[in-house]
Amino acid sequence: MEIKFTPTTTPKAKPDETKLGFGEIFTDHMLIIEYTKGKGWHDARIVPYAPIALDPAAMCLHYGQEVFEGMKAYRAEDGRILLFRPQENFKRMNVSNDRLCIPQMDEQMMLESLVELLKVEKDWVPHLPGTSLYIRPFVIATEPKLGVKASDTYLYMVILSPVGAYYKEGINPVKIYVETNYVRAVRGGTGFAKVAGNYGVSLKAQVEAHEQNFTQVLWLDGVERKYIEEVGTMNVFFMIDDEVITPALLGSVLPGITRKSTIELLRSWGYTVTERKLSIQEVMDAARNGRLKEAFGTGTAAVVSPIGELKCEDEITIINDYQIGPVTQKLYDSLTGIQWGKTEDPFGWSYEVKVD
């Protein structure tokens, strides 16, 4: 697919890399591809970053027909720009598209068009350790209609944002509140897809957790309110004795790419990793008996984030004395080592963006 390029006439100053937050600054250009029923995906273009015009009746605004992805471009020490398993994100986006009746996209075309955008924005990939260029591909339904149905028109867009750490804690342990009142997803719903609605419904719990000084909430299953699902923006792992346990993907948990990579890395090091139903009771019991050694979350934005404290109803448990555990640290070092091109990449996960 040909991509038309309109360069900006007003390039922005690059941000101070020592002060990067998360998703607050956007680059000079964005990618847009349109979809029209009967015509397919068409009119790919890279244009100056700017507000878009939407009909107030655009269906995404009323019925939440929207999907998105999150990925990062990393700057290696030698200047190369690397992506981490980008094909996995585009594969997942098509799974999300399918769940929300959005037409499938050619995954190769998504990757190639992202590479074109990154070539234009290459100077926006930051250089400081721990920084990266966050990539946000998304699709919105644009047909102006108030009847509830799948839209006949869509916009696929990619915007880019230079970022630092997602949590203010950085790699330091976060405090997590076990949510026993609200639920995020149920099997048969959209929990496994990356759709805006999953995050919208999570806000109330997040606000209440923040009010109590917790970083994020840990969601329990929506039916029995017993089994652990995921943390706000991360999948979650618990090391009980020598076994690393993570909730199985039964339809209500997001199949994270960092989650998948974590499982593959741990197994390659000889750890037993079990994907199964894990009740909060089992975790709290293990903590009481001194068997809960480490807990951590994984995600593109959050990378690997140790959990230092869990509050479940009236009980608070401190994990590993509020210190990052050895397994969590090794995972963080290995994943970030591969992502930033600092260490060997035995799995072939790195994808170099050839900018010249």
Residues at the site binding ligand COI, with contacts judged by CB under 6 A: 70, 199, 233, 299-301
Smallest distance, Å, CB 235 to ligand COI?
A: 10
Task: Give a three-class secondary structure readout of the chain.
Answer: CCEEECCCCCCCCCCCHHHCCCCCCCCCEEEEEEEECCCEEEEEEEEECCCCCCCCCECHHHHCCEEECCEEEEECCCCCEEEECHHHHHHHHHHHHHHCCCCCCCHHHHHHHHHHHHHHCHHHCCCCCCCEEEEEEEEEECCECCCCCCCCEEEEEEEEEEECCCCCCCCCCEEEEECCCCCCCCCCCCCCCCEHHHHHCCHHHHHHHHHCCCCEEEEECCCCCCEEEEECCEEEEEEECCEEEEECCCCCCCCCHHHHHHHHHHHHCCCEEEEECCEHHHHHHHHHCCCEEEEEEEECCCEEEEEEEEEECCEEEECHHHCCCHHHHHHHHHHHHHHCCCCCCCCCCEEEECCC
CB nearer to ligand COI: give 151 or 198: 198
Smallest distance, Å, CB 340 to ligand COI?
A: 17
Smallest distance, Å, CB 70 to ligand COI?
A: 2
Query: 295 near 243, Cβ under 8 Å?
Result: no
Which two three-digit tokens encode residue 82? 């690397």
- In this structure, the strands spanning 174-178 and 216-220 are parallel
* Cα torsion 93, 97, 102, 103: sign: positive
CB nearer to ligand COI: give 240 or 307: 307
CB nearer to ligand COI: give 46 or 254: 254
CB nearer to ligand COI: give 230 or 294: 230
Smallest distance, Å, CB 233 to ligand COI?
A: 4
Residue 158 and residue 6: Cα distance in Å, rounded? 15
CB nearer to ligand COI: give 138 or 214: 138
Smallest distance, Å, CB 271 to ligand COI?
A: 23
Which two three-digit tokens encode residue 90? 């585009």
CB nearer to ligand COI: give 135 or 327: 135
Q: Which residue is nearest to ligand COI (CB)?
A: 70
CB nearer to ligand COI: give 207 or 318: 207
CB nearer to ligand COI: give 26 or 199: 199
CB nearer to ligand COI: give 233 or 246: 233
Smallest distance, Å, CB 8 to ligand COI?
A: 26
- Residue whose entry in the numeric block shows the structure tokens 């799948």: 150
Q: First vs last Cα of the chain: how many Å apart? A: 20
Smallest distance, Å, CB 193 to ligand COI?
A: 12
Smallest distance, Å, CB 89 to ligand COI?
A: 9
Smallest distance, Å, CB 300 to ligand COI?
A: 3
